[in-house]
Structure 1
Amino acid sequence: MTLIFLSPPFTNLESLILTTSFALLYVGSLYVSKHARLSFVAKVVPPPRDGAERRRHDSERWRDDPDVIRARLIAVTIVSLVSCTIVFGALWQSIGPESIEVTLEATLVRLGFSMPEFSLDALLPHLITPLLFLGPLYALYLDFSSPYPATGSFKDVLFSWQGTRNYVVAPITEEIVFRACVLAVYNLSGASKTKMIMLAPLSFGVAHVHHAWDIFNRYGRTPAAAKRALLTALFQLSYTTLFGSFVSYLFLRTGSIFPPITAHIFCNVMGLPQLGYEVSKFPKQKRFIYLAYMTGVLGFVMKLVPWTNTPYSLYWQPRGQEMTY
């Protein structure tokens, strides 16, 4: 059952307050517990060379310390549950307190937790991101096939607390909060699809800016460290916002949170494409690497719309039909 409102139950201001609270809760949870907070010494001795990461002091708590990761994973998991509960509460208030079962079902649908029946059409939205990464995937195949693969370090990270954070908990919780909860609320305020795809991901991008403080401290609090932190923050803001627009499109097109989650996990595993490095490492396969990259990009452009077409998506109505809330 999909509950449709005749008019937006939330105002623009209410949706802005709610979506901002989701972002503040998520980032703020990383600093509430003393076990999750980072700590750095006031003075670094000896000072690091410009451009080099300094040594970690025994008394410090860095982002990749296992106890910090564990505390933060618990925090963001709780925040994800709280954010979903807030959406439920907001819907309950709009629907009426006597309709708790209807509200619960409506919340699950709007957050994209409904499981579709397994079929090729249901699988295609999960394959659009690997198609885009056809070039990096081919280079990864070459690396695995080489006598000296460089994948050992990745395997070590994969089965570590860093891997649990990067490839499991962070993608799932970020998509639940910044995609499902944020977009559900924006939709209930009557926001257009364009606004939800282009503007809603800004909160996701801004939520990554706090990493600049970590970088500034790890690189010695020097002018060079400040420059690195600023440039990294701007770069992260750019690509996380761009990625946020893509997975927002996936969520709205499919009405499901699962394609955005698999896309997020896949992108975290693959990292940013490194065409120049891959060509220099495998010069004999240069043409095939270029061909794989071009094929992936062209395939992505051609298949993005048909592969993400999901009938009866709450958020993506056919042309000619009015927007539903």
Structure 2
Amino acid sequence: MYGNTKPFLSITSAHLLSGLFAFIYVGSIYAFKNARLRFSKRKVNLPEGQARLKLQNERWRDDPDVIKARLLAVTSATLICCLIVFVVMKNLNRDDEFVGHQVASMGNHNLTTDAWLHLGFTWSNALPLLITPLLFSGPLYVQFLEKTLPFQKGWNFEDDVLFRFFSIVGLRNYFVAPITEEIVFRACVLTVYHLTDASRTKMIFLSPLVFGTAHIHHAFETYHRYGRTATAAKRALISTTIQFTYTSIFGFYCCYLFLRSGSLLPPIAAHMFCNIMGIPQPNYEISLMPHRKLSISAAYLFGIIGFVFMLKPWSYTDGSLYWQRN
């Protein structure tokens, strides 16, 4: 904390700004005509858990033209959110008391100059980048057994690199979405809460709720793809609740990485890596290789224990703006 110094922003202002960032980011995909989805209004009764087939005049989120429009939309939204942060900091920098405090606490730099530092546009050391792969020791070991890790027998450069990562879907899932979401929901949101003198605990456990809430709009797509029935509405509610939960939990982790390291690189790398690996399925993997049950279980346990013990020491980067506040 900054002692008895008055916070640079009120908590209400931070709430409004973080909500604005989420609105701009999510709203951008509805503001662009080509980025909007289009569904038939016809109700379709389907077996439990089954999605209907796409109709000719519909536009779904994995259509190439929809993806291209959305990539442009969220990239533009991200730039706007960063610009808002710069404008807010520039206006705060006009306050003599604020400037005096900043000079005393951060050296001969003003907030406009240090906006890049607040947003985490700086390098990180290697250790924070290794925490997420450590957690995924189990799934990585299974891939090793299946010989699908890079340069193993079951790995193919064309399929596993070119097609997966550089297709339009790959660009969305593994590059544009992780980068833009971390800039907006980590860098921009945490910057404005930092200016309210919010505690690290609040920033880690409350700010990711904005990230989780920003995914609620997916319920609209789920409802339509599963037939627009009461069952479809129930599925949309359950899937959205689950998605809100795990995106919020993931947000806790990424906030911690951002604050500890002072850099956007660790949360972006974690986001990319998790999108690549997907949700671990130890029971399913063991069912495929029951003779490897002990070693797979040991690899999962190793990853969890390693993550717990190495998260704190590996995540810290000397000179982190956010972890030197006290």
Answer whether TM exceeds 0.5 for this pair: yes
Matched positions, count: 308
Deviation string, structure 1 residues 151-178 (Cα, Å, up to 9, x no partner):
9986644332111111000000000000
- Give TM-score, length-normalised by structure 2: 0.89
Give runs of aligned pairs for residues 301-316 of structure 1, distance below 5 A: 301-316=308-323
The separation in 2 between residues aligned to 1:85 and 1:102, in whole angstroms, is 17
Q: How far is 1:33 from its partner?
A: 1.2
The separation in 1 between residues aligned to 2:264 and 2:95, in whole angstroms, is 27
Matched, 1:126 2:124: no
The separation in 2 between residues aligned to 1:302 and 1:253, in whole angstroms, is 15
Q: Which residue is equivalent to 1:218? A: 225
Matched, 1:262 2:262: no
Q: Which residue is equivalent to 1:251? A: 258
Structure 1: 5+ residue stretches without partners: 117-121
Deviation string, structure 1 residues 20-72 (Cα, Å, up to 9, x no partner):
1001111111111110000001115x643332111101100001101111111
Matched, 1:110 2:100: no
Change (3 A) 1:145 1:106: closer
Q: Which residue is equivalent to 1:271? A: 278
Give runs of aligned pairs for residues 138-217 of structure 1, distance below 5 A: 138-144=141-147, 156-217=163-224
Deviation string, structure 1 residues 282-307 (Cα, Å, up to 9, x no partner):
11211111000000000001101110
The separation in 2 between residues aligned to 1:69 and 1:286, in whole angstroms, is 40
Matched, 1:297 2:304: yes
Matched, 1:40 2:24: no
- Letter of the 1:271 counterpart: G
Conserved? CA contact 1:47–1:54, under 8 Å:
no
- Letter of the 2:117 counterpart: V
Q: Which residue is equivalent to 1:50? A: 48
CA RMSD, Structure 1 to Structure 2 (Å): 2.4
The separation in 2 between residues aligned to 1:154 and 1:267, in whole angstroms, is 16
- The share of aligned pairs that are identical, in percent, is 49
The separation in 2 between residues aligned to 1:159 and 1:95, in whole angstroms, is 42
The separation in 2 between residues aligned to 1:91 and 1:305, in whole angstroms, is 30
- Letter of the 1:31 counterpart: Y
- Letter of the 2:247 counterpart: T
The separation in 2 between residues aligned to 1:61 and 1:69, in whole angstroms, is 10
Structure 2: 5+ residue stretches without partners: 100-108
The separation in 1 between residues aligned to 2:78 and 2:35, in whole angstroms, is 17
Q: Which residue is equivalent to 2:103? A: none
Moved more, 89-98 or 48-57: 89-98
Give runs of aligned pairs for residues 51-70 of structure 1, distance below 5 A: 51-70=49-68
The separation in 2 between residues aligned to 1:6 and 1:126, in whole angstroms, is 35
- Letter of the 2:123 counterpart: M
- Letter of the 1:85 counterpart: L
Q: Runs of at least 4 residues of structure 1 off by over 6 A?
A: 150-154
Conserved? CA contact 1:51–1:224, under 8 Å:
no
- Give TM-score, length-normalised by structure 1: 0.89
The separation in 2 between residues aligned to 1:148 and 1:114, in whole angstroms, is 38
Q: Which residue is equivalent to 1:79? A: 77
Q: How far is 1:96 from its partner?
A: 2.3
The separation in 2 between residues aligned to 1:223 and 1:153, in whole angstroms, is 40
Q: Which residue is equivalent to 1:119? A: none
Deviation string, structure 1 residues 228-270 (Cα, Å, up to 9, x no partner):
2111101100000000000000000011011000000000000
Change (3 A) 1:60 1:167: same
Change (3 A) 1:61 1:72: same
Conserved? CA contact 1:216–1:228, under 8 Å:
yes
The separation in 1 between residues aligned to 2:37 and 2:54, in whole angstroms, is 12
- Letter of the 2:318 counterpart: P
SS of 1:35's equivalent? helix
Deviation string, structure 1 residues 107-133 (Cα, Å, up to 9, x no partner):
1000010235xxxxx100000010001
Conserved? CA contact 2:35–2:66, under 8 Å:
yes
